[in-house]
Every structure is written in C-alpha cells, then in structure tokens.
Amino acid sequence: MKLNARISAVKPSATIGITMRARELNAQGINVISLAAGEPDFDTPEHIKEAAIKALRAGQTKYTPSSGIPVLREAICAKFARDNNLTYTPAQIIVSCGAKHALYNIFQVILEPGDEVIIPSPYWVSYPEFVTLGGGTSVLVQTTEADNFRMTPAQLAAAITPRTRAVVINSPSNPTGMGYDAATLRALADVLVRHPQVAIVSDEIYEPLVYGGFTHASMAAVAPELYARTFTVNGFSKTYSMTGWRLGYVGCPDKASASAQQNLQDQSTTGTTSFAQYGAIAALTGDQACVQTMRAAFDERRAYLVAALNKITGVRCLNPDGAFYVFPNIAALGLGSDELALRLLDEANIAVIPGNAFGADAHVRISFATSLEALHEAVARFSRWVAARG
C-alpha cells in the first residue's frame, strides 16, 4: 500500500530497538532489569478502581460528551484552582485519551503549514512528531547540563522568529527530570510577552512528582499576561499511576480553542471511556495521600540512584527536580548512547534508553519507576561492567 508523505515523515519510536532486544533476552531466560519504563510501577489506587467499577456496574457504558463528562470537567477546574492557582471554566477543559492525545490535538488546531514550534532539547520523543503531524517545523533549542537542562531566556529569545507559533515547556521534564520553578518560568515569560503570536504549550504531567524542595509552577499562573495563549496540559497517568486508563486533559486559553479540540475529538475519537472518567473523578476529588506515598517512594529511589551512579567511574549524574528519570552523562565511557545501551543490555543485562532518542547522545535515560532492590542490582551490574572494561 502506498502511504502518504505525512505519515512517512513520522519517526517510529526510537526506543523500540532496545525494548525488542530486552524481550528477546528475557525469552531466552536471561534476567534483564529494565530501567526503561515510562510509567509508575505501582497499581492504580484502590478507591479509583472502585469508582470505575461502580460506574460500570451502574450502567455508565454509553457515549459521553466528546470533551468529557461535566462532573469530571468541573473536578478538573477545581484541581487547577487548588493546585495551580489557575481559573478555568468547564467550557475550557477538554478530556482526552491521555495527555499525549491532548498534545496531539493542540498542535492539530493551532499550526498552519510551515509554522515553527520551539522545543527545548533534550525533549520527550513525541513533541517533534506532534509538530510534524500538525504540518509544522520543530526548532530544537539545545540546553546544557551546566544550565540544568533549562532553556535560558536568551536562548528562547534567539530562537523566536516571525514564524514561531508555539513553545513547549515540559516541567518537570521527561527525559532530564529537571524543572522550571516560578522564577525561571517568569524569566521566560518576560521574553514571551514581547511576542504575542507565540502560544505556550505547558506539559505538566509530572507535576506532583518533585523532590529536594523543588516547587512546581504553572506558566499561566506565574505569568497571567500569558494565560490567554497558554495550554496547560496534565493527566492521570503519572500522578495516579493510571497509564492504561488513557486519560489526560488540557485547560485551554479560551472557549474557541477548546471547541476546536472538541470538534476534532467529535470527528475522530469521540469521548474517552465512560467508566474510566468516573475513576478520574475519584482520583481528583479523593484523598491525595496516595500521590504522596508514591512520591516518597520515588524520592527514596532517586536519592539512592543519583548517589550510586555518581560513584561509577565515567558516569556523571545531576539530581532531578522531578519525574522518575535520571539522565546521566556517559560520554566519558567512550561510547555513543546507542552503542552503550545495546552493550549494557547484552553484556550487563540492564535496559536503559539511549539519550540519542531524546536528542542527547552523551546521555542515557534511566527510569527509577522500579523497586529499590532492582535498582541496587542494576547499579551493581553497571559498576561491574564498567570495571571489567578497565
């Protein structure tokens, strides 16, 4: 079948090679420790599952409004007010099949052919593909370890052209784990206020998973002047360990941009799974202690992993502000990230994601969404492998 140019331009997942190879090794009976996961290793909290089961039993099995059931959209508004100091009305909220779907939709409704979107690099692999699918062009801004992988205001200013339509801010970040606090967001906002054509896509999916005194901030709250052009994206996958439920949402700058996304969903996916939305209401309105329990477990693993990696010769690792990834520099090991990841898999039986996939070949991404025991064993294998190379 001849396929169109649009889909041919979309890159397959760069992490698939490692995942396939890890599966092959596991099938051969080799115990591979995977540090590749992009999802929490906890089960969804019980009260959330119960709410969805109850809804299913009560017959909530029909189509829902494409933008999400009204009670859920109200709960999302209350969440934005409670946690982010942001005021949205339900008409500005769109519930989608994951934050990924929400982000895809945003670029579909705002981009014209040739529009540029600024993406700080290292970046989550899907952003450039959303831009490509929206007909736009990605402009990657190379951040540095010295700047804690934060795009500086000067870098942002230099990247903006008359064709710039949007900038992506992902805080805390996948893959680096670094975040923008209120002050660093404000400094970026001071640049953006001078360029009214630039929309802000603020991906806050890792919001509550923050460590070491880092405080999450939302661009639209830090810079109220930018509210009218900021999309605030969040979801349930990482906060409540609900990756398989496929639920995310966006607070839109106005009703028109929300309606556009609603139309798009009307003509593509329709609303998200009916009973899953009732679980989402329980997640947002129920006791938030479950989130803090998961955060504390991640924090303990983070502290161990950063210290342990920094003891391995040739590995240098920053302390992440949030999410559940570390992004160590491995350049001193003398291998590119693709080769290092393959050799770690084959020779040390640990799976990490090459930084190349995120635009940073001197790094690998290591997820700590796995048990402390597994992390201990993985670090031991990594250390032995490095020592054996001499």
Ligand X SMILES: Cc1ncc(COP(=O)(O)O)c(C=O)c1O
Q: Is 218 in the site for ligand X (CB under 6 A)?
A: no
Q: Please, what is the minimum distance in Å from the beta carbon of residue 247 to ligand X?
A: 7
Site for ligand X in 119-148 (CB under 6 A): 124
Residue 15 interacts with ligand X (CB under 6 A): yes or no: no
Helix ranges (H only) for the chain are: 5-8, 16-27, 46-57, 70-84, 99-110, 126-133, 153-159, 182-192, 219-222, 255-266, 274-285, 289-310, 337-343, 372-389
Task: Select 203 or 349, whichever has its Cβ closest to ligand X.
Answer: 203
Candidate residues 34, 143, 202, 237; the one interacting with ligand X per rule CB under 6 A = 237
Minimum Å gap between C-beta 43 and ligand X is 16
- Nearer CB in complex with ligand X: 243/319: 243
Residue type, 344: L
Q: Which amino acid is at 69?
A: I
271 scored as a contact of ligand X (CB under 6 A) = no
Q: Is 155 in the site for ligand X (CB under 6 A)?
A: no
Residue nearest to ligand X (CB): 98
79: contact with ligand X by CB under 6 A: no
Which residues make beta-bridge pairs with 164?
116
Is the Cβ of residue 174 or residue 184 nearer to ligand X in the bound state?
A: 174
Using the rule CB under 6 A, is 251 a contact of ligand X?
no
Q: How does 336-363 read in b/e, with b if 16+ C-beta sit within 10 Å?
A: bbbebbbebbeebbbbbbbbbbbbbbbb
Shortest reach from residue 311's CB to ligand X, in Å:
28
177 binds ligand X (CB under 6 A): no
H helices of 134-273, in order, are 153-159, 182-192, 219-222, 255-266
Phi and psi angles of residue 73, each rounded to the nearest 5 degrees, phi first: -65, -35
CB of 121 to ligand X, least distance (A): 13
Count residues binding ligand X (CB under 6 A).
Answer: 13
212: left (phi > 0), else alpha (psi -120 to 50), else beta?
left
| CB nearer to ligand X: pick between 202 and 329 | 202
Residue 174 in contact with ligand X, rule: CB under 6 A? yes
Kindly write down the DSSP assignment for every residue of 252-265, as one continuous string.
-SSHHHHHHHHHHH
Residue 100 lies near ligand X (rule: CB under 6 A) = yes
Which of 35, 75, 99, 264 contacts ligand X by CB under 6 A? 99
Maximum distance among all alpha carbons in the chain? 64
The kind and range of the H/E element at 232 are: strand 230-235
Sheet holding 364-367, edge to edge: 325-326, 364-367, 353-354
Q: Is residue 105 involved in binding ligand X (CB under 6 A)?
A: no
Site for ligand X contains 239 (CB under 6 A):
no
Angle made by CA atoms 79, 83, 86, in degrees to the nearest 5: 75
Q: Nearest approach, Cβ of 238 to ligand X (angstroms)?
A: 7
The label of the residue with tokens 């593909």 reads: 129
Q: Which residues contact ligand X (rule: CB under 6 A)?
A: 38, 98-100, 124, 170, 174, 203, 205, 235, 237, 243, 248
